[in-house]
């Protein structure tokens, strides 16, 4: 086993708007191959041509990496984005978020919480008690970074997702990110849907029930999306942000992936 890894991160943009992003945590012999893979992804994205592509590669000592487990995956079928958003609010309430806080955060995400109604590059950090925004950068939010899934865990995950029709980059990478978020101190729940105009799915994740995926949380063509992290008010924000942005984590264990079922209230 190698005594160090590399964090390989890609971000691409056009006119200062996010186009694509991805990252990996890999051993030294996979750095070049991984860099090429992420660059190809940046240059072939459904959101169009990138004007700037940034590739960052940082050494990570193996002893710094925390091993974590994926949350269990459930997919709940909803008729449209309206039912999906109602189901998301109900799921957040089940996780311990007050309904008014959940509904307000969802409305802010739908309207675009960044400058001039744009999507954030990261996530809003919300006090679960009163809905106050705790992050200090209104244009950026908190960006979760330095995470990946081990080859063995990835193979097992793909075998479980394949029969469900969910073995794609969107689902796999969202599961890994949610795993890191849920492993952070003070996290109560996460709400997310993509800013990719062609991808309408999103999820609510919480330590109490895992990862609930909804196929419709927005309309096709809508470029607004992002994440909200609901945290306990007594959580040291600086420590939480440091963990989310700097702590390397590697998923080495996976959980159950259930077959899709219709959404039921009070699930």
**CB < 8 Å & 24+ apart, contacts of 192-195:** 192/123, 192/225, 192/226, 192/227, 192/228, 193/109, 193/217, 193/218, 193/225, 193/226, 194/170, 194/225, 195/18, 195/119, 195/223, 195/224, 195/225, 195/226
Helices within the chain (DSSP H only): 31-43, 81-95, 99-111, 151-161, 169-182, 237-246
Q: Where are the beta strands (DSSP E) in the chain?
A: 4-14, 17-26, 52-61, 66-69, 73-77, 123-127, 147-149, 187-193, 202-206, 210-214, 226-231, 249-253, 261-262
Confidence bin at 92 (pLDDT 50/70/90): very high
pLDDT tier for residue 165 given thresholds of 50, 70 and 90: very high
Please give the angle made by the CA atoms of 77, 211 and 144, to the nearest 5 degrees: 125
pLDDT at 168: 95
Q: Are strands 73-77 and 210-214 parallel, antiparallel or unpaired?
A: parallel
Give the residue-averaged pLDDT of 139-158.
94
| Measured distance CA(118)–CA(137) in Å, rounded | 14
Arithmetic mean of pLDDT, 95-122? 90
Determine the Cα–Cα distance for residues 86 and 133; give it in Å rounded to an integer.
22
* Mean model confidence pLDDT for the chain: 92
Q: Which of 232, 257, 201 is nearest to 95 (CA)?
A: 232
Among 30-34, 85-89, 117-121, 249-253, which is the least confidently predicted range? 117-121
- In this predicted model, what pLDDT tens digit does every residue of 223-248 receive, in sequence order? 889 999 999 989 999 999 999 999 99
Q: What is the rounded average pLDDT of the residues 57-78?
A: 97
CB neighbours of residue 5 within 10 Å:
24
Q: How many of the other CB atoms lie within 10 Å of CB of 152?
A: 11
Q: What is the pLDDT of residue 48?
A: 62
User: pLDDT digit string (tens) for 200-226?
Assistant: 999 999 999 999 999 999 999 998 899
The answer to whether the CB of 169 falls within 8 A of the CB of 199 is: no
Whether 248 and 65 have beta carbons less than 8 Å apart is answered as yes
Domain ranges of the chain: 4-64, 68-262
* Amino acid 173: pLDDT: 94
pLDDT per position as a tens digit, 14-35 = 666 766 788 999 999 999 999 9
> Residue 45's pLDDT band (boundaries 50, 70, 90)?
low
pLDDT tops 90 at residue 138: no
């Amino acid at each position: 086993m190698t005594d160090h890894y590399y964090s390989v991160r890609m971000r691409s943009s056009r006119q200062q708007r996010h186009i694509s992003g991805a990252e990996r945590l890999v051993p030294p012999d996979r750095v070049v191959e991984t860099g090429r893979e992420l660059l190809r992804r940046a240059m072939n994205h459904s959101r169009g041509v990138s004007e700037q592509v940034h590739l960052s590669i940082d050494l990570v000592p193996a002893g710094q990496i925390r091993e974590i487990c994926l949350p269990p995956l459930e997919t709940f079928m909803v008729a449209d984005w309206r039912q999906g958003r109602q189901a998301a609010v109900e799921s957040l309430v089940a996780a311990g978020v007050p309904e008014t806080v959940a509904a307000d955060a969802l409305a802010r995400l739908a309207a675009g919480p960044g400058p001039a109604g744009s999507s954030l590059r990261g996530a809003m950090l919300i006090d679960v008690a009163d809905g106050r925004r705790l992050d200090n950068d209104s244009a950026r939010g908190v960006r979760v970074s330095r995470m990946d899934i081990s080859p063995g865990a990835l193979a097992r995950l793909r075998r479980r997702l394949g029969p469900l029709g969910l073995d794609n980059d969107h689902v796999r990478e969202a599961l890994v990110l949610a795993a890191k978020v849920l492993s952070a101190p003070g996290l109560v729940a996460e709400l997310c849907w993509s800013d990719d105009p062609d991808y309408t799915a999103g999820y609510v994740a919480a330590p109490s029930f895992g990862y609930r995926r909804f196929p419709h949380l927005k309309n096709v063509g809508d470029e607004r999306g992002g994440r909200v992290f609901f945290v306990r008010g007594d959580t040291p924000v600086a420590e939480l942000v440091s963990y989310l942005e700097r702590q390397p984590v590697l998923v080495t264990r996976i959980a159950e992936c259930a077959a899709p079922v219709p959404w039921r209230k009070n699930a």
